[in-house]
């Protein structure tokens, strides 16, 4: 059963929602509200990203502090807190990787636990990238301009490779999500889903490292 909350203004009791059904005052969202619920969505990792964006804009139009500047202190505070929650929810849900991770957490699953080893087919890539990053660090202090230029083009190549892989994984993830949705018993799909998410998380970190290294050229 959903919990009942009380309106700060008219004391009406109702299930959590943005505006009080009785007096229309802006209500603070419960602190433990989940991100899918913020958007009025079922807890389902498969979602229409364009519809998500549109809902985000609509909710922003209702909640944003700029539009409650003339309200009472309670309304201003609720507007600030709710918009912060909305923004966090949107940031998490619009990104397939973060959305997947968040969804796993909601279902009591952790990515880290059994997936804290580098996925086998990524291991080679990880070593390769680490080696190149070390070379960049060295060239920083000692290298010639030619050597630096060479490294830069190599690093750019690595970045492109990582990017390609990421795109591939994203397609895989989408496919996994829809399979999961259609299956009656999804438990055996879960491990596949986790593997893809974990690979993506690794790729992200690597990509970020490479970008950091590239930014010094």
Partner 1 sequence: MERIVGIDLGTTNSLIAYVDDAGPQVIADNETGQKTLPSIVSFLPNDRVVVGREAGELARTQPLSTIRSVKRFMGLGMEHVSAEDRQRYRFVDDQGDTSSLVRFAIHDRQVTPPEVSAVILRALRDRAEAALQEEVRKVVITVPAYFNDSQRQATKDAGKLAGLEVIRLLNEPTAASLAYGLNTKEEGLIAVYDFGGGTFDVSILRLHTGIFEVLSTNGNTRLGGDDIDQSIAERFLLTELAEELRHDPQVLNSALRATEKAKQVLSDQDETVLNLAVPDKGVQLSRRLSRHEMEAAVDEIVARTLEPCRQALKDAGLETQDIEEVVLVGGSTRMPLVRQRVGEFFGRTPLTDIDPDEVVALGAAVQADTLSGRRRDMLLLDVVPLSLGIETMGGVMSHLIERNTTIPASVKEMFTTAVDDQTAVAVHVLQGERELVQDCRSLARFSIPIEPKPAGVPRVEVTFMIDANGILNVSATDLRTGLERSLEVKPSYGLTDEEVERLLEESIDFAEEDIEQRLLIEARTEADTVLHAADKALRQNAAFLQEGEEEQIDQVVQKVREACAGEDYDLIRDLTEELSQVTTPFAQRIMDSSIQEALGEKQLSDL
Residues that bind partner 1 in the complex, under the rule CB under 8 A: 57, 60-61, 64-67, 69-70, 80-81, 83-85, 87-88, 90-91, 215
Helix axes 120-142 and 187-214, enclosed angle (nearest 10):
10
Nearer residue to partner 1 within complex by CB, 64 or 148: 64
Q: String of b and e for 21-56 (b: at least 16 CB within 10 Å)?
A: eeeebbbbbeeeeebbebbebeeebbbeeeebeebb
Is residue 55 a contact partner of residue 4, using CB atoms and an 8 Å limit? Answer: no
With CB under 5 to 8 Å by kind, the binding choice for 80 among partner 1, Zn ion, none is: partner 1
With CB under 5 to 8 Å by kind, the binding choice for 181 among Zn ion, partner 1, none is: none
We find the least distance from the C-beta atom of residue 28 to Zn ion, in angstroms, to be 12
Is residue 11 a contact partner of residue 4, using CB atoms and an 8 Å limit? Answer: no
With CB under 5 to 8 Å by kind, the binding choice for 61 among partner 1, Zn ion, none is: partner 1
DSSP 82-122: HHHHHHHHHHHHTSHHHHHHHHHHHTT--STTTT-SPPHHH
Nearer residue to partner 1 within complex by CB, 93 or 193: 93
With CB under 5 to 8 Å by kind, the binding choice for 66 among partner 1, Zn ion, none is: partner 1
Beta-carbon count within 10 A of 120 CB: 7
Nearer residue to partner 1 within complex by CB, 67 or 174: 67
Rounded to the nearest 5°, which phi and psi values hold at 204? -55, -50
Nearer residue to partner 1 within complex by CB, 85 or 193: 85
We find the least distance from the C-beta atom of residue 94 to Zn ion, in angstroms, to be 32
Beta-carbon count within 10 A of 143 CB: 16
Q: d(Cα 214, Cα 216) in Å, to the nearest integer?
A: 5
Using CB under 5 A as the binding rule, the residues of this chain from 4 to 63 that contact Zn ion are: 7, 9-10, 12, 20, 22-23, 25
Nearer residue to partner 1 within complex by CB, 44 or 58: 58
We find the least distance from the C-beta atom of residue 53 to partner 1, in angstroms, to be 8
> Is 189 an interacting residue with respect to Zn ion (CB under 5 A)?
no
We find the least distance from the C-beta atom of residue 91 to partner 1, in angstroms, to be 7
Is residue 121 a contact partner of residue 214, using CB atoms and an 8 Å limit? Answer: no
Contacting residues toward Zn ion, per CB under 5 A: 7, 9-10, 12, 20, 22-23, 25
């Amino acid at each position: 059963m959903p919990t009942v909350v009380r309106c700060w203004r008219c004391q009406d009791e109702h299930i959590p929602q943005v505006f009080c059904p009785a007096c229309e005052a802006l209500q603070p969202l419960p602190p433990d509200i989940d991100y899918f619920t913020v958007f009025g969505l079922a807890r389902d990792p498969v979602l229409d990203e364009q519809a998500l964006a549109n809902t985000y804009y609509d909710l922003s139009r209702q909640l944003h502090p700029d539009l409650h500047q003339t309200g009472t202190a309670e309304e201003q505070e609720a507007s600030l807190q709710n918009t912060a929650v909305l923004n966090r929810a949107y940031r998490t849900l619009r990104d397939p990787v973060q959305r997947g991770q968040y969804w796993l957490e909601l279902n009591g699953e952790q990515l880290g636990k059994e997936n804290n080893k580098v996925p086998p087919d990524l291991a080679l890539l990880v070593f390769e990238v680490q080696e190149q990053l070390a070379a960049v660090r060295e060239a920083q202090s000692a290298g010639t301009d030619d050597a630096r230029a060479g490294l830069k083009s190599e690093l750019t190549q690595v970045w492109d490779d990582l990017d390609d892989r990421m795109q591939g994984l994203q397609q895989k993830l989408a496919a996994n999500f829809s399979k999961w949705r259609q299956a009656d018993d999804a438990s055996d799909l879960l491990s596949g889903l986790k593997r893809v998410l974990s690979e993506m998380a690794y790729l992200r970190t690597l990509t970020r490292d490479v970008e950091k290294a590239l930014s010094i050229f």
